[in-house]
Structures are given as structure tokens and as C-alpha cells.
Amino acid sequence: MNLILISMGVLGVTALVAAILLYFVSQFFKVEEDPRIDLVQAVLPGANCGGCGFAGCRNFAEACVKAGSTDGLACPVGGDPTMDEVKKILTPAAAEDTAPAAQEGDGKKGFDPAIAAKIKALATPRAAFPSLIAMAQKS
């Protein structure tokens, strides 16, 4: 009986030590990702067709955010409306200058309501772009 209890204790302590070790290792190797990648991906069609020259929409979103602009990048499936939304995410200041037609007359500027809803769903208080979140909340 004692042998069983000792074995359980040793295994329990070993599991606890391994869990703590894994936690700290995961924190050390954690990769911080630009939250705009999720926002850009949310406005892409999601066909993952490769028509843009990238393996899928996620790769295209990463390329857009890395480039910081949409120059030389295009999604033939979504076309100009999609690329306009991508531009608004990459350059929020430009989005404030151009109100979408759907919001004309209501005194608000910013994202299309459907896009704003997606951004709200993705945005968390920890996101690193509070101005982008504020724009989504205004609309």
C-alpha cells in the first residue's frame, strides 16, 4: 500500500514540475503576432484559392501587414472593395478621411458596419491598436 502511495506522490510531483516547466518555456518562446493580421484576414473572402499568389488568405493578410500597404498586392476574388477594406485596416487615418457610402449622411465615418462587427468580434482589450478598436466601436 505504501509503495502505491509513494508512486502516486512521485508521479504527481513529477507532473506538477513538468507543468510548471512547460508553462515557463511556452511563455519564453511565445510569438507575439500583429493583431492586424486577424483583422485583414477577416475582410478577405476566405476562398484560400491562391489567386493572389499566396498559399491562402492568411498568408496574403500577413504579406499585407508586413508590407504596410496594399501596393502591388491584390485579391482577385474580393476585388477593389476588399482591398479598400484592407487599406482602411492598414492605414486607419485614411479610413477616417473617407466615409463609406453605406454610412453617408449619418455623421459617422469609418468601416462598413459588417466589417466593424467582424473587427469588434476580433478585438480584445489587450489589442495593440486602440485607435482601430475605437473606430470600430464608433460605427
Binders of ligand SF4 among 57-76, rule CB under 6 A?
57, 60, 75-76
Total chain residues near ligand SF4 (CB under 6 A): 16
Minimum CB separation of residue 95 from ligand SF4 in Å reads: 20
Cell numbers given for 85: 477594406
Minimum CB separation of residue 54 from ligand SF4 in Å reads: 6
Minimum CB separation of residue 87 from ligand SF4 in Å reads: 14
Determine the interface stretch with ligand SF4 among 1-9, 25-33, 54-62, 100-108 (rule: CB under 6 A): 54-62
Surface-to-core class of residue 43, CB atoms within 10 Å of its CB (0-12 exposed, 13-18 middle, 19+ buried): buried
Binders of ligand SF4 among 70-129, rule CB under 6 A?
75-78
Minimum CB separation of residue 130 from ligand SF4 in Å reads: 27
Closer residue to ligand SF4, CB minimum distance, 77 or 99: 77
Chain residues in the site for ligand SF4 (CB under 6 A): 44-45, 47-52, 54, 56-57, 60, 75-78
